[in-house]
DNA sequence: TTTAGTGCAAAGTGTTTGCAATGGG
DNA sequence: CCCATTGCAAACACTTTGCACTAAA
């Protein structure tokens, strides 16, 4: 799975890269580099260095395998959900939730011809209501 | 101007705070802490320390005088435009431009009752066309 | 054998903090 | 006189980099 994805993007699938990619594919929160290191280091026979995590994440971002999201100051989070989507940040818990693209009705982006928009992303801030049982 | 704004928000208007606030009110790009320090230190009779810039910026954010925006990893930018607006990031130059709220037609935020939205912000990424003279 | 990738430690940024000195109320 | 604010330097958190070692083509 991760293996083929890396191949298809022209990234040599080393063991470290495969497990990091797989970890990001499996996790639907948005891990930081440190969380990736923590979550992955035990699934490798060899040790995994922090430098390799950062190098790999940068490689994956450049190759378009994952996206870097900066929703809070000081740290970058990584997201293997490359389908277009928005983010909801729970201001209480800091939890970040993906919002499907279609859930937000198309917005008419009539900014004018001087803005050549390549991408846009909506970030919602609020609180997530507890599901009442 | 800056003086009254600080008073009205319950922040004691020290000389350092006033010039920093005024600088942010005057600048329509989105300065980093360092750019604030550079832009402000000559307009004070006394020296201004980096720590005070950070302390002041945090105070201003907490008091709601300015907003902190994290649009790029690694550094926080500050924005004295407290009127609701969105951002356009020029992917070529890194320039960040305010987009008036009304320019983006109302988006139907039908996320569902479990999301109690307090705020949202749209970030556009793209290129700004040169104004053809 | 050549080259890309890894690991370690050191260096680099951006930001915060401890503490003494300062100064307005 | 008191307490908040400042400045400095050290500490901190996150990320990058230089360099030697390893492994794969």
Alpha carbon distance B68, B87 (integer Å): 13
Do residues B124 and B99 make contact, with C-beta atoms less than 8 angstroms apart?
A: yes
Alpha carbon distance A15, A46 (integer Å): 9
Residues B17 and B70 in one domain: yes
The separation, in Å, between residue A75 CA and nucleotide D14 C1' comes to 7
Closest CA to A68 of A121, A127, A13: A121
Residues A72 and A91 in one domain: no
- Domain, as residue range, for B58: 2-79
Residues A65 and A117 in one domain: no
**Comparing A4-13, A25-34, B81-90, which segment has the lowest mean pLDDT?**
B81-90
Q: Which residue in the set B73, B88, B125 is minimally distant from A70, CB to CB?
A: B73
| Residue A45 lies inside a defined structural domain of this protein | yes
The total of structural domains in chain A comes to 2
CB contact under 8 A, A110 and B88: no
Last residue of a domain, one of A62, A79, A96: A79
Residues B57 and B22 in one domain: yes
Q: What is the pLDDT of residue B67?
A: 92
CATH of the domain at A112: 3.30.1490.190
| Residue A82: band (very low, low, confident or very high) from pLDDT cuts 50, 70, 90 | confident
Residues A49 and A93 in one domain: no
Residues A12 and A70 in one domain: yes
**Which SS3 state, helix, strand or coil, does residue B64 take?**
coil
Alpha carbon distance A76, A35 (integer Å): 11
| Residue A131: band (very low, low, confident or very high) from pLDDT cuts 50, 70, 90 | low
Q: What is the pLDDT of residue B56?
A: 97
Quick: pLDDT tens for A30-52: 999 999 999 998 888 788 999 99
| Residue A133 lies inside a defined structural domain of this protein | no
Q: What is the pLDDT of residue B130?
A: 66
Quick: pLDDT tens for A54-75: 999 999 999 999 999 988 889 9
Q: Distance between alpha carbon B114 and the CA centroid of its chain, in Å?
A: 30
**At residue A132, does pLDDT exceed 60?**
no
Cβ of residue A56 near strand C, that is under 7 Å? yes
Element (H, E) at B61: helix B50-62
CATH of the domain at B67: 1.10.10.10
Quick: pLDDT tens for A94-110: 888 888 888 887 776 67
**At residue A128, does pLDDT exceed 90?**
no
Protein residue nearest nucleotide C5, by CA to C1': A14
Q: What is the mean pLDDT of residues A102-119?
A: 79
Q: Is the pTM of this model over 0.95?
A: no
Element (H, E) at B96: strand B96-100
Q: With contacts defined as CB-CB under 8 Å, which chain B residues touch A91? A: 118
Residues B26 and B70 in one domain: yes
Pairs across A and B, CB distance < 8 A:
115
Length of chain B: 133
Residues B89 and B72 in one domain: no
Closest CA to B99 of B90, B112, B109: B90
Do residues B43 and B50 make contact, with C-beta atoms less than 8 angstroms apart?
A: no
Alpha carbon distance B87, A123 (integer Å): 11
Residues B50 and B100 in one domain: no
Nucleotide nearest to B51 (CA to C1'): D7
Per-residue pLDDT of chain B (133 residues; tens, 9 = 90+): 889 999 999 999 999 999 999 999 999 889 999 999 999 988 887 889 999 999 999 999 999 999 999 888 889 999 999 888 999 998 888 888 898 888 887 776 668 888 888 888 888 888 887 655 5
Do residues B104 and A122 make contact, with C-beta atoms less than 8 angstroms apart?
A: no
Residues A22 and A51 in one domain: yes
Residues B73 and B91 in one domain: no
Do residues B57 and B75 make contact, with C-beta atoms less than 8 angstroms apart?
A: no
Over chain A, what is the mean pLDDT?
Answer: 88
Q: Distance between alpha carbon B10 and the CA centroid of its chain, in Å?
A: 19
């Amino acid at each position: 799975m991760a293996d083929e994805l890396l191949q298809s993007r022209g990234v040599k699938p080393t063991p470290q890269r495969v497990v990091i990619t797989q970890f990001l594919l499996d996790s639907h929160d948005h891990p930081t580099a440190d969380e990736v290191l923590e979550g992955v280091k035990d699934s490798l026979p060899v040790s995994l260095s922090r430098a390799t995590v950062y190098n790999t994440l940068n490689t994956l971002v450049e190759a378009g395998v994952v996206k870097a999201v900066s929703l809070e100051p000081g740290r970058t989070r990584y997201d293997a959900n490359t389908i277009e989507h928005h983010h909801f940040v729970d201001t209480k818990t800091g939890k970040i939730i993906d919002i499907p693209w279609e859930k937000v009705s198309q917005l008419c982006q009539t900014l004018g011809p001087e803005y050549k928009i390549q991408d846009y992303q909506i970030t919602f801030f609020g609180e997530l209501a507890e599901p009442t049982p």
